[in-house]
Amino acid sequence: MKMYRSLQLSKQIATGALLSLFALGVQADSTLWSLVWNSHDQAKTLNYSGLLITESGKHSQTSKLLHQSSDGSEFEVLERLDGQPAKWIRHNDQIQCVIPDRKMILTERRHTSIAFPRVLAAADGANSLEKFYSISELPGKRVAGRAVRVLKLTPKDDLRYEYRLYVDREKKLLMRSELYSPKGEILEQVGFKEISFETVLIENPALVKAGPGWRTSSTEVRTMTPAELPYDLPDLAFGFKKADTVCRVKNADDQIHQTVYSDGLSTLSVFIQKHVPSQSMPQVPMSHGAVMSKSETQGQHMVTVLGEVPEKTLGLFLKSVRWKSQ
């Protein structure tokens, strides 16, 4: 009897311990998630400059990044250090690409600014992330001379890749981001090699003015309404949420529609254009770093899905196009 009682007691203790562990776990998770959201905001509000290395597949690229924020407006300059010189300048939603060798300035207006070290691909991606990824913390590391916490975001299905985010302990800024294949290989990584939070600020941040002999050019991107399109795409599919469909005009009869999907971290684009004999896509899946693509001819159109997602997801999206009359 005594035996039984003590067994009962230990059972209760065990259950209690388990429950509290579970509660602790949930609490720990939400702390980790809030660190992710926090670092996304920090990327927009902090001033910093440093050296950035992007590695994608076998290719790597070094750039210099400067970010400053004042009175709610952001100014950012990214300068490529390898290969052909180029400089990208962003003033809130306006972006310029300066190519000195060709004396060219290209401009574009973007709705959102989503470049590293920002974390999220979409502003409202925050809610859905927890549904599709589980979060855990790995032992801390050092990146660019600073102590970081390492967060592991493991997908709950096989439709996306694993992310590892290295967040600065003190400044809560994302210092490094890695993308892993299911086999555990690094597909892509981007991170600071060197960073300073005491940067010399530019007093009157402004976009570039074209000098004599320089050419300026802007890309025309038009947002399409669903009624204009000969097809329907789901608003939400496999955890990916649809953003705008834009029309990229190459010339009068050569239009490419691009619909962007995102689950908050990963993005994919569905490209649809009229099938012309002179233009085709490689019939094999192509990949570059983490980005993979798959193409298919559907009726008179060519559909291509491209994104940093596994091949399975690309196939599912190819099947999700509903043609209005074909």
Partner 1 sequence: MNRNEHISAMLDGELDEAEVQTILSAMGEEEVQAWESYSAVGDLIRSSEMASFHSPSLLARIEASLAEEPTVIAPVLATTLARKSAFQRVFSPERSRRLLASVAAVGFFSFALNQVVPPLDSQVQIVRTQAVNTTISDQELALWQEYFMAHQQNSVRSGLSGVSPIARVEADRPTINGTEKLIVNNAGAAEWMNVWEPSPHSSDPSVQFNYVSSSR
Evaluate whether 56 touches 188 at the Cβ level (below 8 Å): yes
Name which position in 29, 47, 87, 237 contacts partner 1 (CB under 8 A). Answer: 87
> What phi-psi label fits residue 158: left (phi over 0), alpha (psi between -120 and 50 degrees) or beta?
alpha
**Closest approach of partner 1 to the CB of residue 82, in Å:** 10
Task: Reduce the DSSP state of residue 87 to 3 states and report it.
Answer: strand
**Closest approach of partner 1 to the CB of residue 117, in Å:** 9
Number of H helices, E strands in the chain: 3, 22
- Closer to partner 1 by Cβ: residue 84 or 127: 84
Handedness of CA 204, 207, 210, 214 (dihedral sign): positive
- Closer to partner 1 by Cβ: residue 141 or 248: 248
Count of positions on this chain that bind partner 1 (CB under 8 A): 102
Q: Which of the ranges 20-28, 141-149, 191-199, 289-297 carries the binding residues for partner 1, by CB under 8 A?
A: 289-297
**Closest approach of partner 1 to the CB of residue 251, in Å:** 4
Q: Which of the ranges 29-37, 134-142, 151-159, 304-312 carries the binding residues for partner 1, by CB under 8 A?
A: 304-312
Q: Does 219 bind partner 1 (CB under 8 A)?
A: yes
Q: Under rule CB under 8 A, which residues in 101-160 are in contact with partner 1?
A: 102-108, 110, 114-116, 118-121
Name which position in 207, 224, 247, 318 contacts partner 1 (CB under 8 A). Answer: 207
**Closest approach of partner 1 to the CB of residue 212, in Å:** 6
**Quick one: which of 290, 10, 60 has its CA closest to 162?**
290
Per-residue CA distances from 155 to 29, 227, 242 (Å): 15, 35, 19
Evaluate whether 289 touches 59 at the Cβ level (below 8 Å): yes
**Closest approach of partner 1 to the CB of residue 292, in Å:** 7
CB-based contacts of 29, cutoff 8 Å, min separation 6: 134, 135
